[in-house]
Amino acid sequence: MKKMNLKPMLKPESVAIIGASRDPDKVGHVILQNYINAGYPGRLYAVNVKSEEDILGVKTFKSVLDIKDKIDLAVISIPAQFVPAALEECGKAHVKTAIVVSGGFSEVGETELQEKLVEIAEKYGMPTLGPNCLGVMDPRSRIDTLFLPTYKLSRPAVGGVSFVCQSGAVGSTVLDLISGEGFGLSKFISYGNAAHVDEVDLLNYLMEDEETKVIIMYIEGIKRGHEFVEVARKITKKKPVIVLKAGRTSAGMSAAHSHTAALAGNYEAHEAVFRQFGFTIAEDLSELLYFAKILDSEKYPHGGRVAIITNGGGTGVLCADAIGSNPDLTLAELSDSVKRDLRKSMPPLVNIRNPLDLAGDAEEVRYGKALETVGNDENVDMLLVIILFQTPGADSRVAAKMVNMKDRLGKPLIVLSIGADYTRMHRIMMESAGLPVYDSPASAVKSLAELLKYARYKERK
């Protein structure tokens, strides 16, 4: 399989914004402003056919052909009918890669116009992303082609999760959620109609990208089935891939075709490929985030025995029920030596069993002793710690204890914490430090099960 060189697109040293504008309502203005706000360290040029005056303090040219510098990436945001001519000029100017954020191509029936873009991209050997997309964002290299202003869409912190998304609307929503959850992003790539660069090319790049630890995908259709299988066979041996496939029903397939002109195909066939090659399958957008958090922690269990530590008995019971309903997980049976150690360190009101209910007055010392003792039990593969911050003893010191303990244990550790503002503050505190936190027993337990499935897949391979 011939691989495209996407580094100039995702790590460009020079960028030209074609369609840059002084009008703050124009897409080209927002993109240029985003590059400036992000502190892009490379060489930045504005292209506007009607003006040579600086825009937002950036030197402006009437054509990319007038720029004497070598351009790694051209971001094109002009009406669809003018895009082929602009892309042709990019080819003549030896621009290495292009992103067409403009819509108005095969998604609205203009297939010939889109085919013209592919013809030009192939003619000049210029990998072209889109059209009809948001483009790319990389918080490390500070590139941001998203035409959504930062006051409307928060940008995530730097992290290890890369997000490949066919839909710009879904992508922006998930990015906003990632920012709110507090875990970090490596790259965001919205590829729209996938006219030239498609999901196979993107997976090939991310497979070798050292900054990407986990890949999450939203896809509506796969263009090159054979090549996708080829890359799928390799990629999950190196890193986890979580996929949400839209277009599962006839109604969904029809909607996908009108959205990005994707050929959604038979969902059962897609699912069979995903399962065969160790993809983690998400059922909705929430699961994309739930699974990404736990797989990004890069700690894999040896088995499915789970210990629950809680400061609320009822929530512990709900988690035990969820574990009992999952065929891959079981409640761990604490060893006799661990039970004896717990009895010595816990107050009399604590019943020494799994779930281990520390009682409503549990504070950081009790949590720390319980976690260290249970975490060293050879009968325990994974730990689920419930912190209800509404209780008297639960405060920032408990959250800090969890963060301090997570790297001392050689086993997966997740937290379940349910509540509003005070709880949310502590969830973000823990998430920002790399500790996966969940807001329901079902999401926590299902995430543990998916982590175990991927661990077993890696062992088999």
Q: What are phi and psi of 422, to 5 degrees?
A: -65, -40
Tokens linked to 177 = 């959620």
419-449: burial string, b at 16+ Cβ within 10 Å, e else: beeebbebbbbbbebbbbbbbbbbbbbbbbb
For 310-337, the pLDDT digits (tens) are 999 999 999 999 999 999 999 999 999 9
CA distance readout (Å), 338 to 304, 312, 404: 19, 21, 21
List, by residue range, all CATH 3.40.50.261 domains of the chain.
153-296, 300-460
* CATH topology for the 153-296 domain: Rossmann fold (3.40.50)
Question: How much is the pTM?
Answer: 0.91
Confidence of residue 249 (pLDDT cuts 50, 70, 90): low
The pLDDT of residue 349 is above 80: yes
Q: What is the DSSP letter of 419?
A: -
Q: For position 313, what pLDDT does the model report?
A: 95
The tokens for 342 are: 């717990």
CATH architecture of structural domain 300-460 = 3-Layer(aba) Sandwich (3.40)
C-beta separation of 152 from 175 below 8 A: no
CA–CA dist 171, 189 (Å, integer): 8
- Structure confidence by residue, pLDDT tens digits, 409-427: 989 999 999 999 999 999 9
Contacts of 39 (CB under 8 A, 6+ apart): 142
- Cis amide prior to 12 (ω within 30 degrees): no
Q: What is the pLDDT of residue 253?
A: 45
* Residue located via tokens 């029920």: 321
- What CATH topology corresponds to 1-132? Rossmann fold (3.40.50)
Give CATH 3.40.50.720 domain extents, the chain.
1-132
* Termini Cα distance of the chain: 22
